[in-house]
Amino acid sequence: MRLRFLGAAQEVTGSLLLVEVASGTIAVDCGMFQGRREESRQRNRQLPAEAIHADVAILTHSHIDHSGNLPTLVKSGFTGSIYATPATLDLCAYMLRDSARIQTGDAAYLNRKFQNDPDWIPIVPLYDETDVLQALERFVAIPYHHAFEPLPGVKATFLNSGHILGSAQLVLDISDNGHSRRLVVSGDLGRQGLPIIRDPEPPPLPVDYLVIESTYGNRLHGTVEQMHDDLERVVKDSVRRGGKLIVPAFAVGRTQEILYVLHGLFKAGRLPAIPIFIDSPLAINVTEVFRLHPECFDAETRSFLDEHGDVFSFQGVRYVRTPEESMEINRHAGPAIIISASGMAEAGRVLHHLRNHVGDERSTILIVGFMAQHTLGRRFVERRPRVKIWGLERDVRARVEVLNAFSAHADRGDLLKYVEACGAMRRVFLVHGEPDQQGPLRATLAERGVCVHVPERGDTIELE
Ligand SMILES: [Zn+2]
């Protein structure tokens, strides 16, 4: 069998891995690449032919950097089934449509804005809602722990990866040319004790080959308990200064976690009453999907639910659906929390709020997730004094706070523990990480006697 690393190799977006066996090819994930605008357009539009001709696809979770280019794959000619967990399927039904809408909206806005610029090359969206529906028709929902056979000779099983609702590790038991081998693809791994969802499951032994994410291969997060203290401090500070607290957050996972922690802080009397706007139609729909899947909740969230009722609705929370309501938030005087997508501040409504408040020194921009290189979110993390929003340079006068404890990704300690739990393996491949995070993780694993490899994009590796 062979592995072909076609995306998220020494980078964190555009996940795409091919597993080639005698009976056919499986594409694992087909995510949107996010980075420099021109490169993104080109890479997202031109998917590798080997991926388009894969027999089946398996999706580890619904985040757009893993799922966001499945509509392009289907539009380009892919005709196989796409396997995912039921919660991932439900989330994708909203997220991929939202992705199509954002692309169409942004393209129309920018093409209009620059219509008189002779150098402007009009933007064409990657896909529209019809393409998304065609991709969704190919989805097959498979619950955790139910083995299925995507190709003859391949048994596949989803295990919980504890990253977001529905997220899965993929276990492939492959009989190929007389050999039986187990390949585990970690997908994005969560942390022990993250709010709401269950913790990641240990991998089944023995493991022959492991493809593991390495987003935070060289960083330790604060404790999950630290999250509560940090958020309390940032919210109180923001209220004191009388400004808005703007949180660019992924609609899936981070938005619900922040709400859950805020809910707990209010219940404990640790925060004053303050309006919280969830300004993302997608986050609203996704929160509904969370309500539909309490089977994914951990014991703590279940008991919170029993005690306090709905985890995601409480005094002060307002869900903002229409663009008119979104614009009205601007007229809201006094402190408020505005949670809005997209997570890396590259598109969507959060850009309006950032544009309106980035120059206001009373405001706070709170970064709670990983920001890929060259995204607007990353520029805030890098404390750039000026940033570009919709093509216009603006001074950053708002306070920028970065809370890594909120990360839905395993940190260095979690990753090392996971690899250790896999026991002796033939080979380990690090994906979904930037070189500064992968290098130190690779070095530590090599010191521990693990045969570890960091593939480049385009690498094909034969496995025994
Ligand atoms: Zn993810």
- Torsions phi, psi of 409, nearest 5? -105, 145
Distance 188 CA to ligand 1 centre (A): 5
Distance 122 CA to ligand 1 centre (A): 30
Distance 25 CA to ligand 1 centre (A): 23
CATH classification code of 224-406: 3.40.50.10890
CB 133 within 8 A of CB 104: no
* Residue 93: other Cβ atoms inside 10 A: 17
Name the nearest CA neighbour of 308 among 263, 242, 339: 263
Which residue matches tokens 């850009």?
351
What is the per-residue pLDDT for 375? 87
The HSE-up count of residue 328 (CA atoms within 13 Å, CB side) is: 11
Distance 61 CA to ligand 1 centre (A): 7
Q: Mean pLDDT, to the nearest integer, of 261-273?
A: 92
Cα–chain center distance at 78: 24
Burial of 220 (0-12, 13-18, 19+ CB in 10 A): exposed
Pairing outcome for strands 16-21 and 2-7? antiparallel
> Would the pLDDT of 146 be above 80?
yes
* CA 157 – CA 204 distance, rounded (Å): 10
Per the model's pLDDT, the better-predicted residue between 106 and 427 turns out to be: 427
Distance 408 CA to ligand 1 centre (A): 8
Q: How many residues does the chain have?
A: 464
Lowest mean pLDDT among 108-122, 130-144, 202-216, 441-455: 108-122
239-263 pLDDT, tens digit each: 999 999 999 988 788 889 899 999 9
Q: Mean pLDDT, to the nearest integer, of 333-356?
A: 88
Distance 64 CA to ligand 1 centre (A): 8
> Would the pLDDT of 366 be above 90?
yes
pTM: 0.87
Angle at 254 between CA 253 and CA 255, to 5 degrees: 95
Domain boundaries, the chain: 2-219+408-462, 224-406
> Would the pLDDT of 281 be above 90?
no
* β-strand partners of 157: 171
Distance 361 CA to ligand 1 centre (A): 32
Distance 212 CA to ligand 1 centre (A): 13
**Run of H or E including 419:** helix 412-421
What is the per-residue pLDDT for 347? 76
CATH class of the domain whose range is 2-219+408-462 = alpha beta
Query: Residue type at 61?
Result: H
The HSE-up count of residue 313 (CA atoms within 13 Å, CB side) is: 9
Distance 66 CA to ligand 1 centre (A): 7
> Would the pLDDT of 404 be above 80?
no
What is the per-residue pLDDT for 349? 87
Residue 142: DSSP 8-state: -
Confidence of residue 379 (pLDDT cuts 50, 70, 90): very high
Distance 69 CA to ligand 1 centre (A): 14
Distance 14 CA to ligand 1 centre (A): 11
> Would the pLDDT of 405 be above 80?
no
Q: Mean pLDDT, to the nearest integer, of 273-285?
A: 90
Distance 341 CA to ligand 1 centre (A): 15
Confidence of residue 194 (pLDDT cuts 50, 70, 90): confident
* CA 368 – CA 401 distance, rounded (Å): 9
Distance 125 CA to ligand 1 centre (A): 23
> Would the pLDDT of 209 be above 80?
yes
